[in-house]
Amino acid sequence: MLLILLQLLVFASCAPPRCDPKFRAKCTDLMLSYCDDMPYAQTMFPNILGHKTREDAEAGAEYLLISVAESLLGGDCNPEIRMLGCSVLAPRCEKEKVLKPCRSTCEAVRRRCSRTFDKIQMAWPYFLDCDRFFVSDQEGCYDPLEGLRGQEEEEAADGLDILLTADSPDTLQFTYHSNTDLISVLKKTEEQCSGIARTYSIGRSMEGRELLVIEFSNNPGEHELLEPEVKYIGNMHGNEVLGRQLLIYLAQHLCSEYLLGNERIQTLINTTRIHILPSMNPDGYELAVSGVSDNNYDFEQEDQRYDSWNIGRNNAQNIDLNRNFPDLTSIVYRRRRQKGYRTDHILIPDYYWFGKVAPETYAVMKWVRSIPFVLSANFHGGDLVVSYPYDLSKHPLGHEMFCPTPDDKVFKFIAATYANAHETMSNENARCGSSRTQSQKGIVNAAQWSSLAGGMQDFNYLHTNCFEVTVNVGCDRFPPEEELAFAWHENQESLLSFMETAHRGIKGIVKDEKGNAIKGARISVRGIQHDITTAENGDYWRLLTPGIHIVSASGQGYTRATKRIQVPSRMKTAGRVDFVLPKAPVNFDPQEEDFSSYDKFDPYNQYQHYTQMADLSQNQEERAEKPWWWNYFALPGVPSPTWLLKQY
């Protein structure tokens, strides 16, 4: 009986064809596309990891990792990691025999690259275990980096020693970046410029993708007294992608030029806190990319043409994010005949929280309330113009008409700053899209051009201290990759000049007579019915055009103080205007009482109700604890490669 069992066991263990005495594994052509530059042409399956066929190897997480290693690692250790992985997934085959790669090569690569994996919180891949899958020189190994070493020696012989600048194609890759690539580039930039750069998340999209911001400052992570805060937001509409790419390039440019000693860039970063959110709608971008690459659309019908043009514009809930913010402009229009009505720090109406608010919108609203932003631009496509508030027309029938804010002169100035610095935007011959009949020298009032309610730039102006404009960077929403380099060249100066306008006007600190900072004090300018308020430490920034202005500071329980100031033209640094407010008897002021409720954000805690993000899946908490790259590998129906996680 025991003998029969042993025979059955031997038979079962020999079930694979390799145990068949007639079966003989043979060398086959190396067909893995990411391994086509290996210094050999033939391999054998099953491979060292036990993949029986080429298809099995391609379907594994190991092959996926080597295919994206360059992006994940920010270009470091490439192509060494990829070629080392190929030596295991598609081992060298000669004379119908598999040759194993050298352990010494693996150990050298691991010594050099293990820290790169540590930086992104990724474990060293199990299939690159030098003791397990690699052998010693005495056992007849081969060097999988043989071809690479020859190439390096040739370059060294030629004396190749290139100092890369930010404008070098080797630094700026003028190709579209996937969501994974985008995060990788921002993380890599943070590492390269750790003294001036920091990445942080403001939340997640509906499908769980991170809304990642990169910040530049000489003291990243902290608000510095009297230092203005500026933000750029791209890809609000997922299918308008050029702005997203420009902001990726801008982040790389700021880092590289700062390290190279560019005085202008160093001054900008040392005196300004810059925040860049390249993609507000990563879910829409993902859909737009798949739509552009899909050549199977039937464009015979008009509505199908429209649908294809619109692919990815909205978020995953089919919400247009630029119409999803609270409509505060209508509130201002209704109040405009009331005595003493305000156009600043308008409260979000309660009914808004019971509507359908996108998680991306919610994240941005919390963000702009948490930082005292002074200046902002959000980037769109489909036209070549800078539009400025108001977004919404006050025409009773909703027709487009010129609807200026109280700060119309300031908005025209900052909009023109971008347009005039652009290579072609202010040129009448370069106009395109629907703004052609309304814009003047590359700028246009948004309500006069295309009226809309719930826009982001109106929300910034009416709810916070921030002055935001909308930059439409090109006629093509998704231009060909070969146009990206030229687009960067066209917009580079504009992106820098616009941020520098945060230093136009005045800044200062409001204190009481004992020297204590006054938070929430109002800064008013005579003739401009729009106040800004002081930040946590009593500092403020007020954008103003050149000229003479009467400025006052006030606060609940304090006596108003007024000063006459002159803002010179061509100023490069904001004028310093401080205020000291004496104590005064506290009088009940309905406006001040109303303003005290400004701090109440989402008072009914409706966020969980209308987004259901907290219960999106049982793995929400687990996902938040995973590294940023985890979602790329955790595919539905495929075992998760937990061997990439350090805690496993």
Three-state SS for 121-153 is: CECCCHHHCHHHHCECHHHCCECCCHHHHHHHH
Looking at residue 15, what is its pLDDT?
41
Residue (of 67, 340, 68, 296) closest to 179 by Cα position: 68
pLDDT exceeds cutoff 50 at 558: yes
CA angle 596, 601, 604 (to 5 degrees): 110
Q: What's the whole-number mean pLDDT along residues 531-553?
A: 97
| Complete DSSP assignment for 238-276 | TT--HHHHHHHHHHHHHHHHHHTT-HHHHHHHHH-EEEE
For the record, the structure tokens of 559 come out as 């006596």
| Complete DSSP assignment for 337-379 | TSTT---SSPPPPGGGGGS---HHHHHHHHHHHHS-EEEEEEE
pLDDT exceeds cutoff 70 at 647: no
Burial class (CB in 10 A: 0-12, 13-18, 19+), 366: middle
Looking at residue 447, what is its pLDDT?
93
Please tell me which residue, 294 or 536, carries the higher pLDDT value. Answer: 536
Please tell me which residue, 488 or 309, carries the higher pLDDT value. Answer: 488
Looking at residue 3, what is its pLDDT?
40
Please tell me which residue, 618 or 446, carries the higher pLDDT value. Answer: 446
CA angle 322, 328, 331 (to 5 degrees): 145
pLDDT tens-digit readout, 362-414:
999 999 999 999 999 999 999 999 999 999 999 887 788 999 999 999 999 99
pLDDT exceeds cutoff 50 at 592: no
pLDDT-based confidence at residue 638 (cuts at 50, 70, 90): low
Which of 95-99, 155-159, 377-381 has the least mean pLDDT? 155-159
Looking at residue 608, what is its pLDDT?
61
Looking at residue 289, what is its pLDDT?
86
pLDDT exceeds cutoff 80 at 59: yes
pLDDT exceeds cutoff 80 at 335: yes
At residue 97, φ and ψ (nearest 5 deg) are -135, 135
Among 153-162, 207-216, 615-624, the range of highest mean pLDDT: 207-216
Looking at residue 11, what is its pLDDT?
40
pLDDT exceeds cutoff 50 at 159: no
pLDDT tens-digit readout, 465-518:
999 999 999 989 999 999 999 999 999 999 999 999 999 999 999 999 999 999
pLDDT exceeds cutoff 90 at 164: no
Looking at residue 563, what is its pLDDT?
97
State the Cα–Cα distance between residues 358 and 164, nearest whole angstrom.
41
**In terms of pTM, does the model score above 0.85?**
no
Residue (of 169, 128, 145, 117) closest to 35 by Cα position: 145
Q: What's the whole-number mean pLDDT along residues 43-67?
A: 89
pLDDT-based confidence at residue 257 (cuts at 50, 70, 90): very high
Looking at residue 297, what is its pLDDT?
38
At residue 644, φ and ψ (nearest 5 deg) are -85, -15
pLDDT exceeds cutoff 50 at 148: yes
Looking at residue 4, what is its pLDDT?
43
Which of 60-64, 310-314, 469-473, 632-636 has the least mean pLDDT? 632-636
Looking at residue 309, what is its pLDDT?
61
pLDDT tens-digit readout, 191-204:
999 999 999 999 99
Q: Where do the domains of the chain lie, and which CATH numbers do they carry?
A: 22-156 (1.10.2000.10), 192-503 (3.40.630.10), 506-584 (2.60.40.1120)
Number of helices (H), then strands (E), in the chain:
22, 20
pLDDT tens-digit readout, 436-479:
666 688 899 999 998 999 999 999 999 999 999 999 999 899 99
Burial class (CB in 10 A: 0-12, 13-18, 19+), 62: buried
pLDDT exceeds cutoff 70 at 618: no
pLDDT-based confidence at residue 279 (cuts at 50, 70, 90): very high
Looking at residue 609, what is its pLDDT?
55
pLDDT exceeds cutoff 70 at 12: no
The per-residue pLDDT of the chain, averaged, comes to 84
Q: What's the whole-number mean pLDDT along residues 292-318?
A: 58
pLDDT-based confidence at residue 306 (cuts at 50, 70, 90): very low
Q: What percentage of residues in the chain have a pLDDT greater than 70? A: 83
Strands 28-29 and 42-43: antiparallel
